[in-house]
């Protein structure tokens, strides 16, 4: 082992130990810390506050300033709570998480996989999407999350460790095509977060999202069509503080039989419905319409 790798390994172990130690703090106290974080983020530093206000105002042009202001404030409060919940989940037993995260219509996923078909589960940054790391505990199938590797080797290793606790397998975005085509004999479930702004803009994948013309990632649909996968949407809603409901919504049973853009259009419609149901729950700090 080289000196650099040795230092990175030591740094990773120390960082993971710290994260685990913090996760042992009672949830009530973590929420207090989250409230403090909200105060500084919203009132003192105003982290990307202008971006959030602009995004919400353009997405909901019929709402008054006072309503937008309330949604913005609630978004920052929920966002702080998400970090507390993610931290706590590092050490929370599965039996506890099972009571806090309710999955509906998982039989839809089981039916497709048993039929020998891959399932692409698309979703947006709604609610506490990180809670989906618990999903493999509820399914008897291989489950993969597509992610973009971090530049920091230490942080990337930590992220993989935390997200794979319940069996989630992480695949770099540049390797997912090869992986899926090489695993035809063993179908699984693939998670795609497809609501961010793509670097490559394809006019055939330009739709109206929240009252604004938006380019959408084409990779999810193209991979689904090439592999003949079934596609579902994961609708995430917040039941109460720390409790979530995740519903599997059918999009198509065989992507190969769909027209180009059809799956993405359905995804955009379902995402829009998800966001409108809980406007404060989406990741508004992202510069979704920067291009």
Per-residue pLDDT of 132-178, as tens digits, reads 999 999 999 999 999 999 989 999 999 999 999 999 999 999 899 88
What single-letter DSSP state applies at residue 282? B
pLDDT, mean over the chain: 94
Bigger pLDDT: 201 vs 227? 227
End-to-end Cα separation, the chain, in angstroms: 44
Contact 229, 120 (CB under 8 A): yes
Question: Domain map of the chain by residue range?
Answer: 3-281
Q: In what order do the strands lie in the sheet with 243-252?
A: 101-104, 243-252, 230-240, 119-123, 189-193, 143-147, 169-172
Rounded percentage of the chain residues whose pLDDT exceeds 90 = 87
pLDDT at 238 over 80: yes
Contact 37, 79 (CB under 8 A): no
Reduced to 3 DSSP states, what percent helix, strand and coil does the chain have, rounded to the nearest 5?
55, 20, 30
Rounded percentage of the chain residues whose pLDDT exceeds 70 = 99
pLDDT at 287 over 90: no
Q: Outline where DSSP puts E strands in the chain.
A: 101-104, 119-123, 143-147, 169-172, 189-193, 206-209, 212-215, 230-240, 243-252
Say which residues have a Cβ less than 8 Å from residue 59's Cβ, sequence separation at least 6.
210, 211, 212, 275, 279
Say which residues have a Cβ less than 8 Å from residue 175's Cβ, sequence separation at least 6.
none
Token pair, residue 164, equals 């794979």
Kind of pairing, strands 119-123 and 230-240? Answer: parallel
Kind of pairing, strands 206-209 and 189-193? Answer: unpaired
Tokens 């042009």 belong to which residue?
61
Token pair, residue 186, equals 């063993």
pLDDT at 185 over 80: no
Q: Give pLDDT, residue 243.
A: 97
pTM, to two decimals: 0.94
Token pair, residue 200, equals 């490559």
When pLDDT is cut at 50, 70 and 90, the band that residue 197 belongs to is confident
Which run of H or of E encompasses 20?
Answer: helix 3-23
pLDDT tens, residue by residue, 94-144 = 999 999 999 999 999 999 999 999 999 999 999 999 999 999 999 999 999
Partners of 144 in the β-ladder: 169, 190
Q: Give pLDDT, residue 1.
A: 65
> 92-97: long-range contacts at Cβ-Cβ below 8 A with a sequence spacing of 24 or more?
92/23, 94/134, 94/137, 94/166, 97/131, 97/134, 97/137
Q: Give pLDDT, residue 2.
A: 84
Of 25-29, 99-103, 173-177, 279-283, which gets the smallest average pLDDT? 173-177
What is the rounded CA–CA span in Å between residue 149 and residue 84? 23
Angle at 119 between CA 114 and CA 122, to 5 degrees: 155
What is the rounded CA–CA span in Å between residue 185 and residue 226? 15
Rounding to the nearest 10 degrees, give the CA dihedral for residues 224, 142, 151, 153: -160
CA-nearest of 87, 76, 123 to 103 is 123
């Amino acid at each position: 082992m080289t000196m650099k790798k040795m230092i990175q390994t030591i740094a990773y172990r120390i960082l993971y130990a710290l994260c685990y130690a913090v996760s042992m703090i009672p949830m009530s106290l973590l929420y207090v810390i989250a409230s403090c974080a909200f105060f500084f983020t919203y009132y003192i530093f105003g982290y990307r506050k202008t971006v959030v206000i602009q995004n919400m105002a353009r997405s909901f042009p019929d709402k008054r300033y006072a309503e937008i202001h309330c949604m913005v404030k609630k978004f920052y409060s929920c966002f702080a709570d998400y970090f507390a919940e993610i931290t706590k989940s590092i050490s929370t037993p599965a039996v506890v998480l099972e009571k806090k995260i309710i999955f509906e219509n998982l039989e839809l996923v089981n039916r497709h996989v048993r039929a020998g078909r891959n399932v692409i589960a698309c979703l947006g940054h709604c609610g506490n999407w990180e809670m989906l790391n618990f999903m493999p505990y509820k399914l008897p199938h291989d489950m993969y999350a597509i992610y973009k590797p971090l530049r920091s080797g230490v942080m990337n290793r930590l992220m993989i460790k935390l997200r794979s606790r319940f069996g989630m397998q992480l695949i770099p975005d540049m390797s997912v095509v090869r992986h899926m085509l090489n695993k035809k004999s063993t179908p699984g479930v693939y998670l795609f977060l497809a609501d961010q702004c793509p670097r490559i803009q394809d006019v055939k994948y330009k739709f109206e999202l929240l009252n604004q013309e938006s380019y959408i990632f084409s990779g999810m649909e193209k991979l689904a069509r090439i592999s003949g996968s079934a596609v579902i949407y994961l609708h995430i809603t917040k039941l109460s503080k720390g409790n979530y409901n995740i519903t599997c919504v059918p999009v198509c049973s065989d992507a190969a039989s769909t027209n180009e853009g059809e799956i993405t259009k359905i995804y955009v419609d379902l995402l829009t419905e998800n966001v409108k149901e809980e406007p404060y729950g989406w990741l508004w700090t992202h510069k979704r319409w920067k291009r």
